[in-house]
Homo-oligomer: A and B are copies of this chain.
Amino acid sequence: MTDGLDDRTRAQLAFLVEADRLKTVLRANPLVDGSRRENTAEHSWHIALMALVLAERSDETVDLGHALALCLVHDLVEIDAGDTPPWDVEGRATKAERETAAADRLFALLPADQAATFRGWWDEFEAAATPEARLARAVDSLAPLVVNHANGGDLWREKGRTEADVRARNARLEAWAPDLVPVVDALVDDAVRKGWL
């Protein structure tokens, strides 16, 4: 990339420049104002902010900095694998394989010690096996519900999503953050009442 930099710094900058591509990965749901679809980089920021605000709802002791790290790296694999929404049945069948290949390539751009740390964060998020991963998974699941509810349900109408679909999608919060389940229920109830689901 440039002269005058040691190998460690070059590797760090190469990773950070490659990460910029996450800003071009489009997710299914729109922004709240409906002006365009959301990208995965700004979504990652949004769920980290949600973790900051909603961490108090975790029923476990959470290292918040650790949870934020998981939120920041959880979707980097979409640079190669793209976003795979729940209704993409074909895509879901190969999602794990595609995302693992992406993780193998992307985190290896970092210096070896950091590659191991970042890859470990991604594996941890996927496994949902720690309090921090459960909080990060919970806000990642809650975010589209909050955004689509605030938007008035454009995506739900477009994709023919039903109340049962959205409830099933968020049933996982029972295990990850039971104190957020009433929030899911209230948002879905309201969307049904308004005819958005």
Contacts and interface: CB of A to CB of B under 8 A. Distances in A.
A112 interface: no
A39 interface: yes
Give the number of copies in the complex. 2
A182 interface: yes
Contacts of A46: 16, 19-20, 23, 41
Contacts of A149: 2
A183 B9 contact: yes
A166 interface: no
Contacts of A23: 31, 38, 42, 46
Given A20-B150, A23-B38, A24-B31, A72 B53 contact: no
Contacts of A1: 190
A49 B72 contact: yes
Given A2-B190, A4-B190, A23-B42, 19 more contacts: A2-B149, A2-B189, A4-B186, A4-B189, A16-B53, A17-B32, A17-B147, A17-B150, A20-B31, A20-B46, A24-B35, A41-B46, A42-B45, A45-B45, A45-B48, A52-B118, A53-B110, A65-B68, A68-B68
